[in-house]
Structure 1
């Protein structure tokens, strides 16, 4: 009966989906199940010269032993569920959830045993849920602010028109070099700036249906660079184009996409104070099936406190009067309308990369569309 129970326990341990490891008091591995072999990358038959400390980053094994011996944490020789990082044989760090016990004989520590569960898949699901939730909140916020912006813009537009009209009439009636001429000029300039803000508000709030069509993503780079009227912006900017060698077909509103890219280019130039390298790159992410366009600069990066606010309407780090803070929020809305997304891929002291993603369209889909049409 005893041998039968031992055999049953061994089968349970070996068939467990959780990784289970036991080590003697010197840290030498005395038992590993199959799940542990996969998780840690070591074969049970070849662990004679492997110490349990090698299964963790430096110092982690000693921390775990200290907790096991601390009766205030989980009781004598017991470690409740704890998140730690382990090391695969190839050096990869893997986040896991583990429990552990000390095995005693006659009150003396003789071995330790640990049960480990890989957290990578769970953390990826948590990350995707967090991203989806953040996108939902952002979309709802933009929709609400869009409705508010439309109402405010219409209310402000009429009095601004009157101010411009009467200020111009007054300036025309003034004698040359009149002391009030300069003040009226300031009024007109600031009113024009207000008109531009109202215009942007209306554009931001307008719920337009994208005029979608098939085109190559590389064309967006060429067209966007061509549409930037003030070519002096590029005077001290090195422009690097890294276009995908094979065609990247997408189905979107090309004009809207160009508007997004132009906004990112101008922001990138501003971030570099007019001096640096602007990189425009297109490629296909085969894993996700997305066509990607990246705009990178060599500026100072986005601060941590601003990262969560960059797509909020009216948020801007530019000097007062140099930006309305609507560019990125409009870009966010346009990408959503075209079934794509915009996000910050990397940022730091060496620069920032904004990424645009759209579903790749296969040539067969276009042929099918044309035949149906």
Structure 2
């Protein structure tokens, strides 16, 4: 391309030079005619005039001729200097156009490399390489072959361009043909014109005549992992060394993209293996805890049954107007609650059906506070309640949700007990309704179906020491605890499981040393017929 530009510019320059010399010749002829006219004019006497003698005329002609020659010499020198400058300008123009071409090639190469490296799936990476390399080096077809170390052969994994479908999935032994030769030698080839088949082992003639071809190895850390071919069939221009250099740069980026894709695939397989191992470990823990829970339930249900029986017997003999009657009813209710908690613990390793019904979520929170408000007062914890009196109903198990809220309140109280005496201790409980489906995170429901869904938000925020970021993702794991031997690490695990069983989600925000907030999101249902619209207003 550069040579063609240079030849064209030189021809144009030579044409302009002939025009310049023609103009010079015309000037000289005009001067000659002028000299002749002057000579004859001075030779003709005029009235009152004087005829120049021969000496004077010779001096005049000699001086005039010298001036003309000096003028011509000056013109020649200037013309040569201009011609030299024009040659320099032509060379500079060729360099600029060459640099512009290389810049466009590198820009195209950068875009192509970015596109290739944005893919992760191997098949997508290979198809992208073969497609983009055709545009990058202005080829008609391309193919990519990867080495199978076990079989010691090359397999054509991707193709693009004219008549390339027949070569896909074909296999070539290492060292055979052009691709096998490049794979073994690890060196690129530039082939223009008819290929000398005797140079390559088991060379097979192509169905079409290839005018020009490039074949380069794909290397990762010096090791050849495959071969990239590009061919020109219908184009008149053949590949040159610059095209080969460009393709080598492209091949380096392509090889890295292939290696990255292979690493990603191996990482996915490793993650699946770890997930399977984690599931097996989890299943073992569940079985062990199921056995432990069943034993605990058996040991505790008997004394609880006795407590409940004696309580009911006393209730039958107690006047309903007696101050003791209300306390005995609370004992009976909490005995039932303890029985449900023990049964949940015994059955946490199996999926048991919850007794779900439409409920106002303010009610199980109030029930939990009824049990623990005295503890909060004794521990000097200020309780801030902000309940929405018009919450939509949630299809939930009352006892299970009460169990969850009791756990959150107890955890908040224990966390704030660790703070110094001069620290303000506050527990804030807020309930709200919302239609913001972006807050709802669950694997069971797609976000696109949540546009018209209403939700209930429940916030528990305390001014305790917070949860370190490194353990936030583990608090829902069974047996995980930061309380040492005082706790077996099932409280939050059971909370997470109950919330998930209710198609809900939980978000944790924590500032170490300042506060922790648990936000529970539960999907609401349509209002229960005949609902009583009441509830707590904001209070302390």
Q: State the TM-score, normalized to the length of structure 1.
A: 0.47
**Which structure is higher in helix share?**
2
Q: Which has the greater radius of gyration?
A: 2
Q: State the TM-score, normalized to the length of structure 2.
A: 0.33
Per chain length, whose mean CA-contact separation is higher, i.e. which structure has more relative contact order (CA < 8 Å, sep 6+)? 1
